[in-house]
Chains A and B, each alone.
Chain A
């Protein structure tokens, strides 16, 4: 998740203090990992430099928390560009697991076990997210669902790979 652009998106609603932005961010997106104040102010300073936002009515001698920021036209354009540019699906986990599976097969090790261990880990996380959904508001439910569906996709890949291990091993050995 891109924290800078998310903050910029929040700021495009109305001018805000860094303090309020941080709390808005935590409320919507900070489940399990709230943003540090330092990170918020560093991000704001960078966005001022890049002319995506500007400080309003700076008070003399005031620290970063005394400044109110507003988004610039360039900032608004940047937010819209971000919103409507699709993201590349993450393949980092898949490729790591794929590499482990292939190496295990090449080493004549227990690839089935490796996939089972990963499946157990994924299932534990699925259960955790499912529990988090109970009595949560809709915003939190939707966030959990996003995680749940992604983990489910990994699990399907694990199951399919698991079912094809014998064939994969043959192909690797004959390669």
Chain B
């Protein structure tokens, strides 16, 4: 029996290429993420940051190169070689997502929004609501579970989006400008609470941001420029 390699990265990208029509969005990206690591992906608009995140998360299949995922206690999977149903399963069960604008469903309460991923995964509604309410409390939103998104402040709504992303205890959280629409203080609250939860759970995080102060919450950052990772970052040999 072989010993599990605990130092192997949880996510690895090798030689990622992707184009949209004539535009090359990714031009040969290599990237490794260790389990529990918080990585900030920085870079100017149009540099390929979001395309990279979408390829890592199995939202997009890259034109070239591969993305490998090594979940704890399970066999590794090559995300870039999976079909859409398998990638959808991974995204629901193993990954969490937070976007710049929370993308909460406006007609559902905060607690119901957070419950959605659990309900989709087959959890019964009372249990889903119990877990959602508990997580909302951890994010400083006790008593606000019955509010509609429109009744919450920007920072509160974004914390609901964070709760929705974390309620399934994902192995990897993908955050695309999670605080991009918030003022400094609200952004700090969202980030601090989000990172406290992920560090406690050992969740790996890929966080896109163009904001250096946001990136400073990460363990390290990579700079994407013209579809390639900038100087200063090399995949360990």
Contacts and interface: CB of A to CB of B under 8 A. Distances in A.
B216 A127 contact: yes
B44 interface: yes
Given A123-B221, A159-B44, A163-B44, A116 B212 contact: no
A134 B199 CA distance: 14
A142 to B, nearest CB: 12
Interface in A107-166: 112-113, 116-117, 119-120, 122-123, 126-127, 129-130, 134, 148-149, 151-152, 155-156, 159, 163
Contacts of A163: 44
B106 interface: no
B223 interface: yes
A2 B123 CA distance: 62
B44 A123 contact: no
A126 B231 contact: no
The interface residues of chain B, by DSSP majority, are classed as: loop
Given A112-B231, A116-B231, A151 B44 contact: no
A152 B212 CA distance: 6
A126 B216 contact: yes
A159 B211 CA distance: 11
Interface string B42-81: 0010000000000000000000000000000000000000
Nearest to A156: B212
B150 interface: no
Nearest to A110: B231
Given A116-B223, A159-B44, A163-B44, A123 B231 contact: no
A123 B217 contact: no
B212 A126 contact: yes
Interface of B: 44, 192, 211-213, 215-218, 221, 223, 230-232
Given A116-B223, A130-B217, 11 more contacts: A113-B231, A116-B231, A116-B232, A119-B232, A122-B212, A123-B212, A123-B221, A126-B212, A148-B213, A159-B44, A163-B44
17 contacts: A116-B230, A116-B231, A117-B232, A119-B232, A120-B232, A123-B212, A123-B221, A126-B212, A127-B217, A130-B213, A130-B217, A134-B192, A148-B216, A151-B212, A152-B211, A152-B212, A163-B44
